[in-house]
Structure 1
């Protein structure tokens, strides 16, 4: 009888362990703002499951995108959009003074400047993402080019998600910024919040930047996710559809 209960307990523990593995939490970590600084090349030392979002028309962007793709990273376009604080956007920036044709052409040129981009997210955009027409034109262009969109959520009044859903553009939303403060204590605090939130919600989209402090922290700490039973996955893995050319797209895709 004692042997029977021992075997039963072993079976239950094995089943629970298998279930935990089958339903592991997932984190998509996006490093954006890539393309201007030679120090941005340090992102290539991160695991290939980290997604890299590259600014358009930057001195290093095209080559970094190619090299990162060869190393297995998923590539995104970091699309500059007008902010409420009036910060300079750089090449490929989208503003509220642009016509529909200008916005569409600028988005297409930006996509063409970043090889292998599968998705896009907004760089800044606290002003532009609040505007219906510009976001509609942007999402229509992304749909035409078969790119998904990650709303960086730089304003709670963003219309980006509404327009993406309206048009059937596969959509994710940023849930956490990792490195608004790059001090060691702040990075550790946000990393711990990221882990806790991923366990609670099942999956999570986090955004960080190629700051030297951030890269050093991630290189030293990303292995903690596996210990926590969390899978680090490319951003597109969190979409509830297959966005590969053979897979097509589902018009109701959102973060699952």
Structure 2
């Protein structure tokens, strides 16, 4: 009989674990260049915004989102293999550590309440460990987060973040590479499947009117799959909590 309470506790924990909703974060990045980007404010407050630095509408939309307690990130342009123009605030392979830190500091001076960054493009820069380590050292000094948009499979960003001690997550799904509602629905279903299998999923989308319209229809369907939409920062908190539990168990 003395074993029953402990067994009951174990079964209770297992039941609660199984019943707990999986979590997804949806990040809308590329925000800032078009007036229509304001439409992202129509989405639920759990949707995270990632704003391009030094753009015509970026700061205003970021501030409006922040006032509604949204998570705000900076969408930092990084050099791509195709040589595409980066725009203001971009990080390139020609920069040294001081250049990278100064550029990031200007971006955060404009939007000081941003919680971290994710990369805009970056197929060339994120493959190089040293500039990513310099980027992470700035984030570490300022207690900021990193989301790897995973624009290329050989990204060194996660390893650099882990080495420096920066909380890092990776994108799992792009929702709107094609501006077609059927395609967005298909990608949304993939996000749901990944979350159901792995307990979390992170999706990136963009501030196209077509995307906003589709997400307004699709997000309410998450509850049917026992999935909770959460701000991106919550997944870092969950990661930190899980790491603490694992460390205690050891």
Residue 17 of structure 1: how far off its partner (Å): 8.0
Structure 2 matches for 1:167-206, cutoff 5 A? 167-206=164-203
Residue 113 of structure 1: how far off its partner (Å): 1.8
Of the structure 1 ranges 171-180 and 112-121, higher mean CA displacement relative to structure 2 is found in 112-121
Give the TM-score, by structure 2 length: 0.88
**Residue 86 (str. 1) matches residue 95 (str. 2):** no
In the alignment, what sits opposite 2:111?
114
In the alignment, what sits opposite 1:241?
240
In the alignment, what sits opposite 2:207?
210
- d(CA) in 2 for partners of 1:231, 1:219: 15
In the alignment, what sits opposite 2:153?
156
Structure 2 matches for 1:28-107, cutoff 5 A? 28-107=25-104
Q: 1:18 to 1:241 in 2, by over 3 A?
A: closer
Residue 15 of structure 1: how far off its partner (Å): 10
In the alignment, what sits opposite 1:5?
none
In the alignment, what sits opposite 1:10?
none
Q: Which has the higher helix share?
A: 2
- d(CA) in 2 for partners of 1:134, 1:53: 21
Contact 1:56 1:110 survives alignment (8 Å): yes
Give the TM-score, by structure 1 length: 0.86
Q: 1:10-59: CA deviations, max 9, x gaps? A: xxxx99986544x2110011000001111110010100000000011111
Unaligned runs of 5+ in 1: 1-13, 243-248
- d(CA) in 1 for partners of 2:195, 2:229: 11
Unaligned runs of 5+ in 2: 1-11
- What is the number of equivalent residue pairs in this alignment? 232
Residue 60 of structure 1: how far off its partner (Å): 1.1
Q: 1:165 to 1:16 in 2, by over 3 A?
A: closer
Q: Aligned with 1:220: secondary structure?
A: helix
- d(CA) in 2 for partners of 1:18, 1:147: 32
Q: Aligned with 1:154: secondary structure?
A: coil
Contact 1:57 1:110 survives alignment (8 Å): yes
Q: 1:214 to 1:100 in 2, by over 3 A?
A: same
Q: 1:140 to 1:15 in 2, by over 3 A?
A: closer
Contact 1:80 1:89 survives alignment (8 Å): yes
CA RMSD of aligned residues (A): 2.2
